[in-house]
């Protein structure tokens, strides 16, 4: 089994075998980050450009650390410090970056499909680090890795994804991945945050958090995007949290050994109560640790090898 793709653009394009290959490889990479010398020479001489046109701490740092631990050189570009402020288009910027011969370009962009456009334009491997409300494949992979590490499997598990499903690329990538791997996925959120015909993605839909998390193995809370409060999608944060905050009362509806996940950054007291985020069921920081391993696995699988 090999990953024959040039790019990683979305979970939608991945087969079960490919997902398993990435997760197994990532599991072997965990060990490298626990060493005293956290660096292997595998990607020595390779250059990775992290092109982040949207704010990010976790994902950008995670990609940078992953590249460095594999021995590659990493360069970070963010929107505010790049020539975008001078009006350069993404296409021109990509052509210029390509002319400097990097090996991988990791891109986050607020426009859905931006990584796909780049992938057609340049010969380098493109990794999607989140595009608009479309996909965030590495987040879904690290989530699946965390679930598999804790539960030993993904198939047959019941997973509830709660929050702003409509604007969440994390939710979309996870729905593709988890359903493909054989999990049963339920989503819940305010009606304004549930995309129409979401059932067609193979999930069941609930209006209330309590119904959605009843008897589930995994609760995945999404960040409520507070910047959307002005868009009249929900009346107030307080009202949102009254209905959709995971707390010590409603969490009892899930299985006793249910795991709580969150892609970060968390809004304490809005979508998740602080004692739940820091509690024994939470694997939020494990997700972050696994994120580095998943990204190392992808960089390893996508680079090198003459074709």
Partner 1 sequence: MDIKKIVMDAEGIDRSLTRIAYEILEKNKGVEDIVLVGIQTGGVFLADRLKKKISAIEEVEIPTGILDITLYRDDLLTSNKKPRLGKTDIPFSLDDRKVVLVDDVLFTGRTIRAAMDALIDFGRPKLIQLAVLVDRGHRELPIRADFVGKNLPSSLWEDVSVNLTEKTGKDEIVIVS
The footprint of partner 1 (CB under 8 A) covers 1-3, 21, 24-25, 27-29, 31-32, 35-37, 39-42, 45-46, 70, 297, 300-301, 304-307
Nearer to partner 1, 36 or 227 (CB): 36
Nearer to partner 1, 235 or 304 (CB): 304
- Say how many Å lie between the first and final Cα of the chain, rounded: 16
Q: Which helix (H) or strand (E) holds 213?
A: helix 209-213
At closest approach, how far in Å is the CB of 59 from partner 1?
23
Q: Are the beta carbons of 210 and 250 closer than 8 angstroms? A: yes
At closest approach, how far in Å is the CB of 61 from partner 1?
22
Q: Which helix (H) or strand (E) holds 49?
A: strand 47-52
Nearer to partner 1, 120 or 306 (CB): 306
Q: How far apart are CA 21 and CA 153, in angstroms?
A: 14
At closest approach, how far in Å is the CB of 188 from partner 1?
38
**Per annotation, catalytic residue among 5, 6, 42, 58:** 58
Nearer to partner 1, 31 or 257 (CB): 31
Read off φ and ψ for residue 155, nearest 5 degrees: -60, 135
At closest approach, how far in Å is the CB of 32 from partner 1?
7
Q: Is residue 108 flagged as an active site residue?
A: yes
Q: How far apart are CA 23 and CA 120, in angstroms?
A: 26
The residue among 165, 141, 117, 168 whose CA lies nearest residue 7 is 117
Give CA 59 to chain center in angstroms.
8
Q: How far apart are CA 211 and CA 24, in angstroms?
A: 34
At closest approach, how far in Å is the CB of 262 from partner 1?
29
CA dihedral 90, 96, 97, 102 (to 10 degrees): 140
**Per annotation, catalytic residue among 2, 86, 120, 242:** 86
Peptide linkage before 265 cis (omega within 30 of 0): yes
Nearer to partner 1, 2 or 196 (CB): 2
**Per annotation, catalytic residue among 59, 138, 146, 303:** 59
Q: Is residue 59 flagged as an active site residue?
A: yes
The residue among 6, 3, 263, 200 whose CA lies nearest residue 116 is 6
Q: Is residue 136 flagged as an active site residue?
A: yes
The residue among 62, 84, 83, 85 whose CA lies nearest residue 74 is 62
Q: Are the beta carbons of 105 and 126 closer than 8 angstroms? A: yes
Give CA 203 to chain center in angstroms.
19
Nearer to partner 1, 38 or 153 (CB): 38
At closest approach, how far in Å is the CB of 208 from partner 1?
43
Q: How far apart are CA 103 and CA 260, in angstroms?
A: 36
**Residues taking part in catalysis:** 58-59, 86, 108, 136
């Amino acid at each position: 089994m090999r990953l024959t793709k040039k790019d990683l653009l979305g979970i939608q394009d991945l087969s079960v075998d490919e997902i398993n290959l990435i997760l197994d490889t990532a599991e072997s990479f965990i060990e490298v980050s626990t060493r005293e010398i956290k660096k292997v020479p595998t990607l020595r001489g390779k250059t990775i450009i992290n092109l982040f046109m949207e704010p990010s701490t976790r994902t950008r740092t995670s990609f940078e650390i992953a590249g460095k631990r594999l021995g590659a050189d990493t360069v970070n570009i963010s929107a505010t410090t790049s020539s975008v402020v001078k009006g350069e288009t993404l296409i021109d910027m990509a052509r210029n970056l390509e002319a400097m011969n990097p090996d991988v370009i990791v891109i986050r962009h607020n426009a859905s499909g931006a990584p796909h456009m780049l992938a057609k334009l340049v010969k380098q491997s493109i990794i999607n680090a989140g595009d608009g409300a479309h996909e965030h494949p590495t987040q879904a992979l690290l989530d699946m890795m965390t679930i598999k590490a804790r539960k030993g499997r993904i198939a047959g598990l019941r997973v509830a994804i709660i929050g702003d499903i409509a604007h969440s690329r994390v939710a979309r990538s996870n729905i593709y991945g988890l359903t493909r791997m054989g999990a049963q996925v339920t989503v819940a959120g305010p009606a304004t945050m549930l995309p129409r015909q979401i059932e067609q993605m193979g999930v069941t839909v609930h209006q209330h958090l309590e119904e959605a998390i009843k008897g589930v193995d995994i609760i995945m809370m999404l960040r409520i995007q507070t910047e959307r409060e002005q868009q009249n999608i929900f009346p107030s944060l307080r009202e949102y949290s009254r209905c959709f905050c995971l707390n010590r009362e409603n969490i009892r509806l899930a299985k006793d050994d249910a795991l709580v996940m969150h892609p970060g950054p968390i809004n304490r007291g809005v979508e998740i109560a602080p004692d739940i985020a820091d509690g024994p069921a939470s694997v939020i920081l494990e997700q972050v640790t696994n994120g580095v391993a998943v990204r190392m696995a992808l960089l390893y699988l996508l680079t090198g090898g003459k074709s």
